[in-house]
Structure 1
Amino acid sequence: MTKLSQTEFRAAIERFFEDVASEANVSPEWKRQMIDASTPDLPDDPTPEQVDAWTEIMAFVSDKEYAMELRNSMSSMWDGAFDPAAYAEASTAIFARVRQAIDKGEAPGSETGKAIARDWLASSAKAMNRTPDKAFLDWHDNQYRKYHSRSARYYELLRILRGDRQPDTISEEWSWINAAMAGAL
């Protein structure tokens, strides 16, 4: 059953990413990385919690309305001017700084927070061939409000499936940088 479930799970994830990327100029490498990162191996003898996580993820990737929202968002972001390598490099560097700031107890509204937020706005705007202005900040905020809670839950479910009990840091980092951006401009 686990082998069948694993095959079914991977196929559902692949269909989901094919659907949400269908109208975007998404690189095949990025799509493959997202599929691989979103498809953990199911344990041979899953716990009830892991079965529930699997079921909830299957509901996520079967939600046609959510897929349509993501498809629209991705097609506007992956418009040919977006540089995914530059975006990945910028986010890796910025989120390392965010993690350091969090670990040091820096508040998002601190001068450190504002500096990191300005750097994130500049580097992410550059990767998207946009201007790091109020309109871009508002776009960032809108994307965060629309997708963060669902994304955070998905990562939580993936951790459950993997049997990983470590706390999620990426959700905390996204929350911190978004709070910092509120005072960045």
Structure 2
Amino acid sequence: MNYTIGQLARLSGLPVKTIRFYSDIGVLPERGRTRSGYRLYGDEDRGRLELVRTLREIGVDLATIRSLGERDLGEVLSLHLRTVETQIRALQRTRAVLRATLERDEPADDDLRRLNALGRLGAAETAALVNDFVDEVAGENAARQEWLGGLRAAMVPDLPDEPGIEQLDAWLELTELLADDGFRASLRAMSGDFWQNADGIDVAAWHEANTLVTERALAAARDGVPPESEAAAPLVAELVAALAGAQRRTPESVVRDYAEHDPRAGRYWELVAVVNGTPWPPESVIAHEWIAAAATTHLG
């Protein structure tokens, strides 16, 4: 059965001008026209119009609805669900900041900074920031690209549904570090000779050596061996030699890496731990901080 636009409006409860607009932009294509030029629609258009109205009520944009002719409805709804969930997380973050701000007698500039930053950094903006960071730090080095690519998902963790102010501040500091040109340049310069020769390294042997070195340094730290003590000297020399051999480098270059290590790199992963609510520092950090202190004292 065919319906004019006026009949379809009465049946659907939608204004004629709305149906005409949907037809003009391709959301509800007309089936034909009468001899007098009136648009005609069929029974299937009544159903589609109900679908369009439902999708609009839950916030699906018209461009997505228009593409339904080429896309499965389930795919469209799944996409919209992800969008809604992202919006909910953003609103929850904003709510947490507003609640914390209103609990204070006098809101401060930091509170406005948080609100402004959260408003600017949605999921798409954060993903673009991470991608740009990885591309700039890795440069043309394939090994470094692969290594940073594996860390990409962990670089800016999702905030919990009800983040605390400390977590919000850590998350914002993370994004500031990612955008910091000086931090990017520092990371790009760190361990330069290692990354230049990384393609020729036996990765399995490297991981094995690093695991053993970490375990022995951690044991020394837990046993209370001060890294500046004479007792630490032979151990750190042995550990640095093991790392140098696995990485096909000189012990001097390994010591130089420890001495030139940018403390902001450690701070970065500490902030990740704050956002995730996980303990800090992990055993690997304790171990390598011990090695760094011992190496710069005895081998520097």
TM-score by length of 1: 0.79
Aligned CA distance change for structure 1 residues 27 and 142 (closer, same or farther; 3 Å): closer
- Tell me if 1:71 matches 2:188: yes
Aligned CA distance change for structure 1 residues 16 and 139 (closer, same or farther; 3 Å): same
| 1:58 counterpart residue number | 175
Which shifted more, 118-127 or 82-91? 82-91
Return the offset for 1:109: 3.9
**Mapping for residues 112-131 of structure 1, pairs under 5 Å:** 113-131=232-250
Unaligned stretches of 5+ residues in structure 2: 1-86, 91-120
Return the offset for 1:101: 1.5
**Mapping for residues 42-121 of structure 1, pairs under 5 Å:** 42-73=159-190, 75-81=192-198, 83=201, 85=203, 86-110=205-229, 113-121=232-240
Return the offset for 1:160: 1.0
- One-letter amino acid of the structure 2 residue matched with residue 118 of structure 1: A
- Tell me if 1:139 matches 2:279: no
Which shifted more, 117-126 or 25-34? 25-34
| 1:150 counterpart residue number | 264
Return the offset for 1:60: 0.3
Aligned CA distance change for structure 1 residues 163 and 77 (closer, same or farther; 3 Å): same
Unaligned stretches of 5+ residues in structure 1: none
- One-letter amino acid of the structure 1 residue matched with residue 188 of structure 2: R
Query: RCO greater where, 1 or 2, for CA within 8 Å and sep 6 or more?
Result: 1
The count of aligned residue pairs is: 179
Counterpart CA distance in 2 for 1:154 and 1:28 is 19
- One-letter amino acid of the structure 2 residue matched with residue 155 of structure 1: W
Is the CA contact (8 Å cut-off) linking 1:16 and 1:61 kept in structure 2?
Answer: yes
Which shifted more, 154-163 or 43-52? 43-52
- Tell me if 1:9 matches 2:9: no
Return the offset for 1:13: 2.2
Structure with max Cα Rg: 2
Q: Secondary structure of 2:275's match?
A: helix
Aligned CA distance change for structure 1 residues 143 and 84 (closer, same or farther; 3 Å): farther
- One-letter amino acid of the structure 2 residue matched with residue 168 of structure 1: P
| 1:168 counterpart residue number | 281
Aligned CA distance change for structure 1 residues 106 and 73 (closer, same or farther; 3 Å): closer
| RMSD over aligned Cα atoms | 2.7
Counterpart CA distance in 1 for 2:183 and 2:218 is 30
Q: Secondary structure of 2:143's match?
A: coil
Aligned CA distance change for structure 1 residues 167 and 31 (closer, same or farther; 3 Å): closer
TM-score by length of 2: 0.52
Question: How much identity, in percent, do the aligned residues show?
Answer: 30
Counterpart CA distance in 2 for 1:137 and 1:74 is 8
| 2:60 counterpart residue number | none
**Mapping for residues 17-32 of structure 1, pairs under 5 Å:** 17-26=134-143, 28-32=145-149
